[in-house]
Amino acid sequence: MADVANVRTSHNGRTPHNGSEPSTAELVQRAAEQVSRLVRDELTLARAELTQKGKHAGIGVGLLAGGGAFAFFGLGALITAVILLLALVLPAWAAALIVAVAVLLIAGVLALIGRRQVKRAVPPVPQATVRSLRADVDVVSAAVKDRGRA
């Protein structure tokens, strides 16, 4: 974007015949074209960044789901073992009831903590694109200020 302030050629790429500055209309047209190109490039960057993040998130979610399935079955086996252990000193139905109540209490606490965490989450933002846009705005602002002083 720095070339907006420094370019001294007309729209067709040739230097003006009289050696003077480009007209305001030419500058406005160039600025509009460059802003349009800049917006397209920034959107392309954001799309690429979000696509890459989406791929990583998809792989991560798949792996988490697989791990969660194995953990679920492992937890079921442990719960069965606790029920069988308690059944040695209590009737089987009482052992199962005690373990079921304990499991449901743990599930409730985890659900409340998870809900609180989800509320604190923010939507994903393409951070590199945001930084790039801020830099572009700063360059354009500086070019406009410098042009106004000349």
Query: Are 30 and 48 a contacting pair, CB within 8 Å?
Result: no
The per-residue pLDDT of the chain, averaged, comes to 83
Asked if residues 96 and 83 have their Cβ atoms less than 8 Å apart, the reply is yes
Q: What is the pLDDT of residues 91-118, one digit of tens each?
A: 999 999 999 999 999 999 999 999 888 8
Instruction: Quote the pLDDT of residue 7.
Output: 47
User: How many other C-beta atoms can be found within 10 angstroms of the C-beta atom of residue 20?
Assistant: 8
**Helix, strand or coil for residue 73?**
helix
pLDDT tens-digit map of 42-87: 899 888 888 888 888 899 999 999 999 999 999 999 999 999 999 9
> Could you tell me the residue ranges of all domains in the chain?
3-149
- In a 3-state reduction of DSSP, which class is residue 124? coil
